[in-house]
Structure formats: structure tokens, C-alpha cells
A and B are shown apart, each in its own frame.
Chain A
Amino acid sequence: MIGLLVAFLPGVLLSLMLMPERVGPVQRGALVAGLALCWTALAGLGLDAAGRLDRQGWAMMAFYISGCGLAIWLLIEPRALAIFFSRLPLPRFRDLAALAVACVLAGSAVAVARSGAAAVVAPPYTELWGRLDNGKLVVDVKNLEGADTSYRLEILDGEVPPSTWSETVAAAPGAVVERQFNMSPPAGSGPIEARLYKTGSAAIYRHIIIWPARAE
């Protein structure tokens, strides 16, 4: 929260420094908020040139601009602070209370929408991936089915006729299960295929195809 105030403070002081005369509350509000956006654009260029586009750089720049703004403003109008506070439009209590309740309602609306959006789940699925690592085929299965799932993994090497390895893999929801297969004799020039079946099903559920790296 303090960081947020620090980000907006230069806007307040720049608006009072660059346009200290009395303007309506709507225009003053627009000026403060607008200059709070503008200072970051211009200061960002300076920070980039200085290689300080980081948290410390931004904090230093915010305090520097705010300090300069305050100093110049006080120079222009020595009673500036007293005048500023006397000009602050003070809404009536019932207006403020209504605004506060409306903000709570708006916040509740955001919370409702966030909970709805966060509850979105993708249709159940499984990820299969693999790679060849020093003559070993490494295959991973990630279960995103939302329930314990059992699979059958079948490996076909690139030879003709292919050698086949078959193994049953069980995975808890969200778990990643890894299997390694020694491709012995070492994989030839043809592709190796890994096929994943859901237990009890003859249809290929997922498959990957790995070509050995080309000999340099």
C-alpha cells in the first residue's frame, strides 16, 4: 500500500507544481492521476539510460521528483500546504459512507468473478513427453485426469520388425511418472515411438515419436 502511495505521490506534487492555481476538483483529480502515469514514462527513460530500471531506481526517482515538486511548490506559494488542505473538498459523511459501501460491493463483485474464473477446470487430460538421453529413452506421463489413472506404455524402437517394451503405469492426480528404457542395442537411425493407452482400452491415447539426434 505504501509502495502504491509512493508511485502516485509524484503525480500529486507535479500537478501542484506545474499547475498551482485553483482548478476544479474534477480537473485536479484528472491532473493528479494523469501526471502519476506521465512521470513514470519520462522517469523510466532516465532510469533506463542510467541502467537503474529496478526497484531501487524507481524508489529513488519517486522520492526525487516528489521532493523537487514539493520544494518548488513551496517556493511558489509558501503557504501552499495550508492552502492545499483548506481546498480539499470534504464530502459529507453519508456520501463517503455510501461510496465506501459501493467500494465493498465492487470488491465483492471482483471476488465473486475471481472465484468463478479460478474454478474453471480444463477437461481431463494426460500429458506425455519424452526425450533420448545417452541412449536411454526417458518418457514422462503427467496425470491431469482428476482421478487415479492407470496406463499401459508401449515403446516401439525404430528397427524392422520393431522391438517392443510394454509397462503398466499408475499415476495419482497431478503426478508425473517417469520411465526410462535402455535402447539396447543403441537406437538406430529410425524413430522410436512411445504409445500410451488407458488401461482397458485398445485405442492409442497419446503418442510421441523421437528421432535420434543426427550424427555430426
Chain B
Amino acid sequence: MTARALTYGLAPTRPAVFRRPRPARAITLPRWLLRLLGFRQDPPAAEIGDGPGLGLFPVLVLWLGLALLGVAFADNAGIAGQGWAEALFWPSIAAMVLPATARIVSSRASERERAAIAIALGMALFLVRLLHNPLAFTDNDELMHWRSALDLMQQKHLFVPNPLLPISPDYPALELAATAIANLSGLPLFVAGMIVIGTSRFVFVASAYALFRKISGSSRVAGVGAVIAMASSTFVFFESQFSYESIAQAIAMLGFCVAIDLVESWRALAIRLPLWIVLSASLALSHHLTSYFAAAVLLLVSLSYLAVGRDWARALRMLVLALITIAAIGIWQDLVGNPTGGYLVPALVGGFTQILAVLLSGAERHLFASGAGASLPAWEQADVLAALALTGLGLSTGFFRILAAPRPDERLLEADILRDRAPWGAAFAVLSAGYPFCVLLRLSSGSWEIGNRLGSYLFIAVAYVIAIAVHGFWQGRSASPIRAVLIAAAVTVLVFGGMISGYAPLILPGPYLVGADSRSIEPHGIDAAEWTKDHLGPGNTFAADRINRLLLADYGDQRVVTSLYDRIDESPIFFAPRFGDEVRGLIKALHVDYLLVDWRLTQALPLVGWYYELEEGDENHAQPIKPQSFRKFDTAPGISRVFDSGSIAIYDTRRVK
């Protein structure tokens, strides 16, 4: 086999015809711009097919293991409050991403090697999250879903109400998978949950690689795309949580990967229909937004088959897949109820209203600052801005490259197949155009979360577009290792930017902070929650701040009050300066048996932006809660202070409710 025949691992269909080289023309700025944007393109670089081994993968995977050890030591240093923790953490992450990406970009890597490296890097980044919280669930969303999983284990039936996240029992795929493993293996729920999330990470990265490989025909695009997908602001931390998005995104990605094969012919569709039904039903049970996104992408690709490929048959088959997915979503929502009315629409409308207000009034969110007002270090701010600029550059150089030249190299055996799949690329290019809007949403504190979540979906398309730019222009036909390392450095900046913009300042574990999700979970609060179970019994109605109510629900087995479930904002109970009729009325309306007061809240503003409920209002965040707001319970007639641990006090309100 000739070197050319090794391209894509396949033999050419016909001998390549080479034209006499044209005389070199002077490079002018317009010509360079056309080349930069992709309107003029060179033929793609030749790629090495599969060899017997995995190339440098063994060396790189050992290196990843060593870098993980560095992350573990950095986390421990963070817990101990050592100043050098960050100085070890970030180089360890760079040690993972940079060499792995450089090898994937390099023209010397084989297809199998690229796939193995991309998957190993994805799993290593999953372990970074596990090393952050290696003993128990500690993040906000994790503790919410843990309650649903505990209900499933204890009560052995579905749809047990969960006041922490009322919608969680309606989408039980995550909890079912974790409890199935816990039941079958006898492992603790935390370990079973991490196995589910680790498996989901594997499915996501492997499916992303396979999907990009099928669409582009290039293992380099596939590998680079899969790695860039890890630079999403939610990839390393948020989507490695025990949370329903994590499993749903993996199933959606697998669905896209399978859909490409299913639309090849009516026969393929008919034979593989059961597989699609299994995938779309599982997706419908996993997560509302992800299932909507998947259905929307399938519809968009169907349209793209018409618009770009003029391929009615495939468009129709893709439409069938989309309709099956929509039917699965519809049937499930018919059974459990539609979450869009009470849950999603208010969140989306609120977010969009806030961003409109920001744009119209000129008011601004204090960028790079936590709810407590602390700013990120300058280098982290610079990295996020650099990541945004690089994303913009990648998108602008990949967007037209896909739309302007969807035709693959005709000399390849796969050329026909790739031409048929070009509509996927076009659909991804269109999707990626929505990403800047998600960045805009992050400018307002109210819409930040929506922008962050929506961005994670669109980033799949962004990753593909940037990978096309890297393959077609930035690395192009060059075999230069320096160029590959520079591209890998840029991708490392992207991954850093994603981690910082999605999870800073909680990237390293450390001492207790007020209202700071995982940094607020510590033995003191857990002890108090366990005390309630042991001494008050389970099932009492508690009002508490957003951190302690998670602990009360999970460790204390108590029924907690939330505005999401009870439709009443309980925060005035705690903020009111005096124990008056308003407080008494709320205690009665919410049937509160006990109040848990965390005196540490009087020492600082909450890092994530609120103490109790999102609705509590900015007027309560000018300074920390006043101690007298809590002291009022000590003098309120009929309210017993039954527990005191210094930081935490529990009040019995049953006499006044």
C-alpha cells in the first residue's frame, strides 16, 4: 500500500490525477483573507491509517496518570489552605491537555492513536472532578439528585417527591442507573453514581469522536473536535457531577452518532428502529432540555439535508428519527407532566428579561466576580478573555470553511459517503452561530446559568467547527511539530477558560466558605443534619439556607421547604429584623416544624449569590445578614432553641405554626 493509499486507511478508488503546478502567485491580503476564512482551501492533509500499535499512546497515558497525581496533591494542598496549590494544579492540567492535543494535531498520529488519546484525556478530566470530591456528593445538583436516588433505594418506587428539585423524580434515568448498579454490585450509592457518570463521560467522548470522524472523514478533526468539546464551561466540573444532564448528554451524543448510519437507507432505518427507540426513550427519561436539544438538532440536520444536500430521502429519514424522538418526549411528558410551564419557562423568561434589562439600561454584572464580591486573579481573567478570542477566531475560520466547501476530496473511497454527510457539518456550523448569544447571556447574573447551560449544548457544534479550522487552516498540511504545539497550547487555553468560567473560584477544594456549594459542605453541617434524624426523627418540615437544607434532606432525611416546591419564598423568615406577623404567617403557611439557623451566614456574603432563594432580592446582599435577624428567634415567645453547636442552632416552631 502506498502512503497515499493509507489516507483515511482506505485505498483510492481511481488513480489521482495531478495537474501541472500553477506558477506561484503573490499572496495579497484579500487572497489571504479568503484563505483564512475558508473560501479558498487547500486539499486536506493526508492521514495515517491504523497501524498495529497505538503509537505514543502508552507514553501519554502514563503521563496522564502522573499528571493526575499532581492534581490530587494540589487538591490536598488546597484543603490544607496551602498557597502553592494552584501553582501545582494548573500545570498538572496543562500537562494533560497540551501533549495529548499536540499528538492528536500532529500528522504522525494514527487514527487508533488519536481515538485512544482523546478518550483517555476525557476520562482523565473526569477524574479531575472526582479528585475534587472523592468521598461523597458535595455539589448542589449532586445533593439534589442524591435525594432522589436515596428515595429510590429506600422506598423502592419512582416519582417520590423531592422538594430540593421537584423535577428530578420525573426524569429518573440517572437515579435508576445508579441504583441498579448499587443494587446489583452492593457498592455504596456514591461509588455507583460515579461509575454511571464515568461511563457517561466515556460515552460522550467516544461518541463525539465517532460522530466527528463520520462527518468529516478525518481522524484529526475527530480527535481535535473531541478535545475542544472538553473546553466547554460545563465539561470538567458541571457535567461530571451526579446530575441528569451528565447522562443525558452522553445518550444524545450517542444518538447523533447512530443516526448517521440509520439514515443511509430505509432498510437500515427499519432494521435498526428498535435501537433508535431505546435511545430516544432513554433520552426522554433522562433530561428535558437535552431531549429538546437533540430533537431540534435532528430537525435541523433534516432541513440541512434538503438545503445543502438536496437529498430528500435522507431528509425524510432524519425527519422520521426526529419525530420518533419528539414522540418519546411527548409520551413521557404526557405521563409525568410538562416541565416547560412551571420550571423551564420562568427560568428562561427571567433570564432573557434580565439580559434585556442589562442591555437597555447599561447596568452590568460585575464580571469575573463572585456573589461575595471577590474577583478572580488577573491571569484567570486574561485566560477567559483569551479563550473567548480564540473561540471567536476558530469559529470565524471554520464557519465558512464548512459552508463554502462541503465537498470532500474526490480521490477518497469515502468521498461519496462524506458528501452525503456534509449536511451535518452545515447544521453544526449554523448551530455554532448561536454560541456568541450564550456568551452574551452570561453578562447578567440572572441569565448566567442559562447561558452556561445552553452554551454547553452549542459547544458541541463549536468544537466541530473549530476542529475543521484547525485541520483545514491552522495546522493544515503542515507537519511542523512547533505548529502542532502552538495549536495544543491554544486548546489548553480554551480548556482552562472553560474550567475557570464554569467553576471558578471553586476549582480547588478548601476551607469553609459561606454559600459556596461544595466549599460549604463540611462536618459541622453534616453532624447537625444527622442529629436531626437521630433525635427529632425523619420527615419533619425544616426551613434552612440553601446549603443546610441539602444536608438536612440528604443526611437528615427531613422534608425541607423550598420556593421551587412550596411556591412560597421562605427567606423573609430569616431576613426579617423582628419576629412579627409576617414571620409567624410564613411559618404557619409553610407548616414549618423547625428552623435551622447557620450563624456563619452573618460573617460573609454568599459566594454563589444568594443565601436562601434566588428570589430573596439584591437588597439583602449589600452586606451579610445582620446577627439580630437570627437573634430574634431566641426571644420569640413559644420558639424553643433545641440545639446549639456554636455555628448552627435549631429552633422548634411547632408551638407557633
- B residues adjacent to A (C-beta < 8 A): 52-54, 57-59, 61-62, 64-66, 68-69, 71-73, 75-76, 79-80, 112, 115, 119-120, 124, 127, 130-135, 152, 156-158, 172-173, 176-177, 179-181, 183-187, 195-196, 199-200, 202-203, 206-207, 209-210, 213, 247, 250-251, 254, 257-258, 261, 272, 274-275, 278-279, 281-282, 285-286, 509, 522-524, 527-528, 531, 535, 634, 637-647, 652, 655
Contact = CB atoms under 8 A, between A and B. Distances in A.
A30 to B, nearest CB: 4
A213 B261 CA distance: 70
Contact of A44 (B64, B172, B279): B172
Given A29-B202, A48-B158, A105-B68, A38 B195 contact: no
B180 A112 contact: no
B206 A110 contact: no
B258 A112 contact: no
B157 A94 contact: no
Contacts of A211: 637-640, 652, 655
Interface string A64-86: 00000000000000000000000
Nearest to B262: A19
Interface string A28-53: 01110111111111111100100101
Contacts of B130: 110, 113
Nearest to B135: A117
Contact of B642 (A6, A95, A106, A208): A208
Given A30-B207, A41-B172, A206-B645, A113 B247 contact: no
Contact of A127 (B157, B186, B213, B531): B531
Nearest to B195: A4
Given A19-B258, A26-B210, A34-B207, A40 B62 contact: no
A30 B157 contact: no
A75 B134 CA distance: 45
Interface class of chain B by DSSP:
helix
A13 interface: no
Interface-centre pick from A48, A97, A211 (highest chain B CB count, 10 A): A211
A123 to B, nearest CB: 8
Given A40-B180, A41-B172, A109-B71, A18 B523 contact: no
A71 B473 CA distance: 50
A37 B203 contact: yes
A69 to B, nearest CB: 11
Interface in A114-167: 114-123, 125-131, 144
Contact of A58 (B62, B180, B282, B644): B180
14 contacts: A4-B185, A7-B181, A30-B207, A41-B281, A91-B54, A99-B61, A112-B72, A113-B76, A116-B76, A127-B643, A127-B645, A131-B642, A206-B645, A211-B640
B621 to A, nearest CB: 26
A191 B640 contact: yes
B65 A101 contact: yes
A30 B591 CA distance: 48
A125 B647 contact: yes
Interface string A201-212: 000011111110
Contacts of B261: 23
Contacts of B124: 106
A104 B210 CA distance: 28
Given A38-B251, A42-B281, A211-B640, 14 more contacts: A26-B119, A27-B207, A41-B282, A42-B278, A48-B157, A54-B156, A95-B58, A98-B59, A106-B124, A109-B68, A109-B131, A121-B523, A127-B643, A208-B640
